[in-house]
Structure 1
Amino acid sequence: MRWLAPPAALLGCTVLLVTAWSSPEDVAPPVPRASAVAACEALDRALPAKVLGHERQDPSPASPYTAAWGSSPRTVLRCGIERPDYLDDDPLKQSPEVNGVQFGMGPDGGGGYYFVTTLRRAYVEIHVPKGAYPGPLDPLNSLTDAIAATVPPGL
């Protein structure tokens, strides 16, 4: 019986690794303000199935306030977040506008960036990790039409 222990342990480790690689990692969904709930839920329905060839693979736990594309690294969108502190660091210094949607941005500490919508009824954050795309702004073009159509301007 003891000779079965090593193969069983190896099989268990293999199953764990395959499961970890194939399932989306956890992302804590935000709790949007009441005034942002409808916009975030509409945004979730309007988001594309693919972003620059990367399939949508939503994180766990399932929520209308989170979405993701790709696997490793992957781009993660969260709608209804609290106003991030990096918007306090001279928001006009780094504020790209993409298809009429204004973003503040901040580094993620690993070579990627966080982009968050400004002057909209809900803060929509898009995390673009290093290596996900040739340029960190690349996925924003695929997402801004849905944001503009569902998250109205205003505070």
Structure 2
Amino acid sequence: MTSSRRLWHPVFLGTSVAALLLAATGCSSTDAAVSITVPTPSPEAAAYCRALHKELPKSVAGLDRGDAEPRSELTAEWGDGEIVLRCGVPRPAKMDDPMAKGTEANGVNWLLEQSEGAGPRFTTTYRKAYVEVTLSAAYAHDASPLAAFAPAVSKAVPGL
């Protein structure tokens, strides 16, 4: 499993230096809401997304659900953006690629897209609205987030 490591740690720098560094950054990462681009789906897809929003779990892979900005029933995040969900995204062009990779988690099929230096992005297939889940690099080899979303997706977003 890939994980990111900090180059410094406040405990080793001493309290005054750590406080100065935190003050210089303005706030800690847990003080600010995660910014997520809100999709603009069709009215039909938006209705499925609103239903999905009500079904989403409060925690995923041990991470608590947080507050994303702007607030929307089309987006959600867990663990300060470690896991981000957007519902009603456009159909990815990669779905036309016969060599595209995918996976299945608890009855929900997902297209896998991997970009250099970032965690994986998964988008549901064979559903009336496309649901996108982006994972940080720390979760690149962990299927539990997709499995956690499967019951909500199955219940709220009908298959084709």
Interval of TM-score (by shorter of Structure 1 and Structure 2): 0.7 to 0.9
| 1:56 to 2:65 alignment | yes
Aligned ranges 1:1-155 → 2 under 5 Å: 14=23, 17-18=26-27, 21-71=30-80, 74-90=82-98, 93-131=100-138, 133=139, 135-154=141-160
Q: Which range is displaced more, 137-146 or 106-115? A: 106-115
- Mean Cα deviation higher: 80-89 or 95-104: 80-89
Q: In structure 2, how many angstroms separate the alpha carbons of the residues matched to 1:128 and 1:121? A: 23
| Cα offset, 1:20, TM superposition | 5.0
Asked if the contact 2:119–2:140 (Cα under 8 Å) also holds between the matched residues in 1, the reply is: no
Question: Which string of whole-angstrom CA distances, capped at 9 and with x for unpartnered residues, describes residues 87-133 of structure 1?
Answer: 22326x412111111111101332411100011000000001201x3
SS of match in other structure, 2:143: coil
8 Å CA contact retained: 1:58, 1:66: no
Once the two structures are TM-superposed, the CA of residue 40 in structure 1 deviates from its matched residue by 0.2
| Residues 50/22 of structure 1: CA separation in 2 closer, same or farther (3 Å cut) | same
1:107 maps to a residue whose letter is: Q
Query: Does the aligned pair in 1 maintain the 2:102–2:109 contact within 8 Å?
Result: yes
Gaps of 5+ in 1: 1-9
Tell me the amino acid that sits aligned with residue 52 of structure 1.
A
Q: Percent same amino acid among aligned pairs?
A: 35
Poorly superposed stretches of 4+, deviation over 3 Å = none
Q: CA RMSD in A?
A: 2.2
Counterpart of 1:6 in structure 2 is: none
Secondary structure of 2:144 counterpart: coil
Distance 1:90 1:134, change over 3 A: closer
SS in 2 for 1:81: coil
